[in-house]
Amino acid sequence: MKKGTFIFSLVFIVSIMLSKPGEAQDRKISPQAKGTVIGAATGAAAGAIIHKRNRVVGGVVGGVVGGGAGYVIGKRIDNKNKAEEAERAAEAERIAAAERAAAEARETRAVAAASAPASAPAKKTVAAKRAAAPARQALAAPAPAAVAYADYTEVQDPIMTIAFLPNPTYGDPSTAYSTSEVRRKSW
């Protein structure tokens, strides 16, 4: 009976620590800390269950090993998140550069058209053609509505996911619910 009470208490404490509504403030917890806590709790419980002769030693050793493994996993997740954020920033910078180049190309064409005689045809300069290339690439970029939900990895509140789902086709007029960011479940 003591073992069952101990395991139930451990699971209850971990579930309270990890529940989103239980947070008093809107603080971000690093993936390393989250992984360490989850790994240590899981390792301690597993170690106490596995080591039959001395459960305290098993719990301590399992907690240390689980905490270390959880930290490593959390660090990998953090590095992955940072790499994705760097990719998004680079993509935004590339689009901004393409827009600047397109605006410069339009300005160059406008100046060339204004300074050319009326009878001579307006010719594109080599610089204007080079500046227009990134603009063409930016036009081939995916639509902003598709990008907003393409990397939808944020964990949703379980209460909200009971009745609503994210709408990956938001803004696409050829699909149902194109004006709503969420879709209502039909059951």
Over residues 96-109, the pLDDT tens digits come to 998 998 888 888 88
Contact 78, 36 (CB under 8 A): no
**Number of structural domains the chain divides into:** 2
* Residue 164: inside a domain: yes
Packing angle, helices 31-50 and 55-115, rounded to 10: 160
pLDDT of residue 90: 92
Q: Is residue 46 part of a domain?
A: yes
Decide if 103 is inside a domain.
no
In a domain, 87, yes or no: no
Mapping DSSP onto H, E and C, the string for 113-143 reads: HHHCCCCCCCCCCHHHHHHHHHHHHHHCCCC
List, for residues 118-170, the tens digit of each pLDDT value: 544 445 555 555 655 555 555 555 554 444 444 455 555 666 666 667 777 77
Reported pTM: 0.43
Final residue of a domain: which of 60, 79, 98? 79
- Residue 178 backbone phi and psi in degrees, to 5: -70, -15
Domain membership of residue 133 (yes or no) is no
88 part of a folded domain: no
Residues spanned by the domain of 153: 142-187
